[in-house]
Amino acid sequence: MLDFLQTAVWALIALGVLVSFHEFGHFIVARWCGVKVLRFSIGFGRRLVSRYDRHGTEFTISAIPLGGYVKMLDEREGTVAPNELDRAFNRKSVWARMAIAAAGPIANFLLAIVLFWGVFLGGTSGPVPVVGKVEPGSLAAVAGLEQGQEILAVDDHPTPTWQALNWRLANRLGDSGHIKFSVRYPDSSLEYHMYADIERWLAGREVPDPMEEIGVSLWIPEPGMTLSQIIPGSPAERGGLQVGDEIVSTDGQVFDAWDDWTSYIKARPEQPVQVTVARDGAELALTVIPDRVKLDGGEEIGRIGVAPAGASWPEDKVRRYHYGMLSALNKGLEETWSKTLFTLDSLKKLLLGQLSTRNLSGPITIAKVAGTSANAGWQSFLSLLALLSISLGVLNLLPIPVLDGGHLLYYGIEAIKGSPVSERVQMIGLQVGMAMVLGIMALALYNDILRL
């Protein structure tokens, strides 16, 4: 219950920030253009809290927190007093109306820049992408990737960290052709180029994992044999194992690697095993009987309910970056630009069928990710906010009536032909646009429910 409440709070914070900045963009530019703003609302539906400023604008928080709106004085929506006609939105020049419509998405891009700026000011770090294992017969194996190689670049784009490698591979989802890997062997300065052929790579896959799909596991330090977690009520707890115990031997065998030890336990469901541990300077012999657990594929394994203490990363396997005020701002600009291009490319692939529509996510998934990222730390949460802000900016610029991009399309036509688009055409466009937006929202929500 507590986890649910935390997730809900972080989701509301994320949506509140994104919507507030988007609508503030419309609001402030409308004010600059001399348009009277009647209401600034975060959320839709029944107004929960409201107050008025000295300009007569109502600021309100409404019951449904899935968006917001700025209501402006407009003759098309009601009678306007003669002395306020010059403050009506529809009386402003087409260029002023275009500026007001574009201001919301622009505010989202500016927010992303500021958020990324904050992330880079705090410094970033990430594991070096060194190949740990290569799955036989996989794309990586066919390309020639080997254990111990460092992946320097993908398609000539540098990949200094795991995160950078994942992003570069994600850019190739749905593509055909080949992926170029630039690699280096340990203790060598020579760079080698390897190629993996792809054809509509993972085009129909739901929420694909690029690293897993190419068949590569990146290197991580081996955990030790010391226990860091005992699941309450598990065979380990019943057998007397405790946090801090170090596994010395099992059935007389000594295991140096955690994976080898867990494989031994998995192979013995409901069979007593003698586990010798070191505790407080002494060795204790304990008997543990693994539970029989059936996996999704039908395989049955033994499980005792323990986790190892994490191993520390060697300094040469972690890259750390520190930025000053200006260099962090420059990185924020670069990151916003690259993620905007990635979002546009993903939309194109969705339209062309190169990406599955199952990748669309709605409010439930966003809420889960917001909660997870917040638990991971402030930099993770700010990065997520920046990505969501970019997505909101891009989506609102799509030329779909009811979205900002649809209004910009109408105003662009008006600027070219010298007169507004007819009311009939606008009404048809509104109906079509509303159907499209509702359809996309329904699909995203459906995907969310399937993931529960």
Catalytic residues: 23
The answer for residues whose C-beta is within 8 angstroms of residue 240's C-beta and 6 or more apart is 284, 286
Evaluate whether 443 touches 361 at the Cβ level (below 8 Å): no
Distance of CA 348 to the CA centre of its chain: 19
d(CA 408, CA 61): 27
Q: Is 282 helix (H, G, I), strand (E, B) or coil?
A: strand
Tokens, residue 296? 């999704």
Tokens, residue 142? 């066919």
The answer for residues whose C-beta is within 8 angstroms of residue 432's C-beta and 6 or more apart is 401
Q: Is 187 helix (H, G, I), strand (E, B) or coil?
A: coil
Element (H, E) at 218: strand 216-218
d(CA 10, CA 378): 12
> Tokens 């919507």 sit at which residue?
19
Q: Is 1 helix (H, G, I), strand (E, B) or coil?
A: coil
Q: How far is CA 351 from CA 314, 392, 450, in A?
A: 44, 18, 22
**DSSP 8-state secondary structure symbol assigned to residue 355:** S
d(CA 385, CA 367): 12
Evaluate whether 284 touches 276 at the Cβ level (below 8 Å): yes
Task: Give the number of other CB atoms < 10 A from CB of residue 124.
Answer: 18
Task: Give the number of other CB atoms < 10 A from CB of residue 257.
Answer: 12
Task: Give the number of other CB atoms < 10 A from CB of residue 251.
Answer: 12
Residue length, the chain? Answer: 452
Tokens, residue 87? 């403050």
Q: Is 336 exposed, middle or buried (0-12, 13-18, 19+ CB in 10 A)?
A: buried
